[in-house]
Amino acid sequence: MNYNVEQQEGAVPIKMWTKGVPVEDEARKQLSNAARLPIVFKHIAAMPDVHLGIGATVGSVIPTIKAIIPAAVGVDIGCGMMACKTTLRAEDLPDNLGPLRAAIEKAVPHGMTPHRRGRDEGSWENPPSLVDQAWATLVDDFEAICEKYPRLRNTNNRKHLGTLGTGNHFIEVCLDEDGAVWFMLHSGSRGVGNAIGTHFIELAKKDAEQHQRNLPDKDLAYFEEGAQYFGDYVRGVSWAQKFARLNREVMMKNLIETVRKVIPKPFESHLEAVNCHHNYVQKEHHFGEDVFVTRKGAVSAKKGELGIIPGSMGARSYIVRGLGNPESFESCSHGAGRVMSRTKAKKMFTVDDQIKATEGVECRKDEAVI
């Protein structure tokens, strides 16, 4: 057995794929709280990169019966990875990768204007046709959601489609062990997904004040099937997950076209493309039951299914193929994990540390990325 089982009275078991991996006490507490909810099915699975999260534990797989926990899905709904292999080889890349990086940074909006001064630099000023084509597949359902929740119109929605965002979101040109060039990126549902997630998390907490007074943690407030906001949340989260997937597809197309302008050699792309969420919820069938599976920092790993586990900045990433392990609800880890919080890391690491850690890697090495 390659996992440990933690069992507490009045709770479902927690199966933890963390042998040899330190786990924070706070993360264990979060997992324990979730395991005590009456809606949780069978057990909770914790991945090797498990750590304390906002709302619920990052690196957890939480199956629920006829209910969903909005804060477990979180506010970066549909956040995930996309990667595609090309016919380019290592020797086709220029010796100086600086101009290629600059071209990509110019082509794909990223970051955020501080203090909301003027237009957000992380959004499109004039979205290109590629964005408009993708938005056309989203707009009708978005308008239907906004009819009931008009505040969601006051978001960067269309102008965030095909943009990267902030934090640990990234675009990368990388090589596999055979010298083939891959493009990889990490992003989610951007501002509009955040607004949808935030709004329904607030509604769930208000609803819980009346109907779920014995919650072990107010962040674990949930909507049950048939409840006032359940159907609306399912529609909203499903739409945001579709937005996130399209967001990555639009960025990837833009990235590929940008590289074609910099590298003269013709090449094919999407030889082996992977586009996977790692913050999301969907209905699945496990252990004879239809359940809602929330993967909070976890990737679907059905038998034969391709997934992506990115490494730390400048480190190796992995394209993986699922084994369909039923005990993990056919899931695997979504990243390298962490040894400290982002806040602590910002206090500890300097620009010089960043320069040393990314030696030989073409990337930004200034205070803005610390």
Give the active site residue among 43, 51, 199, 334.
334
Cα–Cα distances in Å, from 8 out to 26, 57, 262, 296, 309? 16, 17, 58, 22, 31
- The span from the CA of 34 to the CA of 25, in Å, is 14
- What six digits make up the tokens of 282? 């969907």
Task: Write down the residue that tokens 């596999």 correspond to.
Answer: 176
115 is catalytic: no
Q: In angstroms, how far apart are the furthest CA atoms of the chain?
A: 64
Among 199, 191, 175, 201, residue whose Cα is nearest residue 79? 191
3 state SS for 244-302? HHHHHHHHHHHHHHHHHHHCCCCCCCCCCCEEEECEEEEEEEECCEEEEEEEECEEECC
In 121-229, alpha helices (H)? 129-136, 139-148, 190-211
Residues pairing with 170 in the sheet: 186
**Residue 263 in tokens:** 């590298």
Query: Tokens for 169?
Result: 């979101």
* 111 and 167 Cβ atoms separated by less than 8 Å: no
Give the 3-state secondary structure of residue 183: strand
d(CA 20, CA 317): 21
- The answer to whether the beta carbons of residues 333 and 312 sit under 8 Å apart is no
Question: How many angstroms from the chain centroid is the CA of residue 82?
Answer: 10
Radius of gyration (C-alpha) of the chain in whole angstroms: 21
DSSP 339: S
359 φ, ψ to 5°? -60, 130
Residues 6 or more apart in contact with residue 142 via CB below 8 angstroms = 152, 157, 192, 239
Active-site residue set: 334
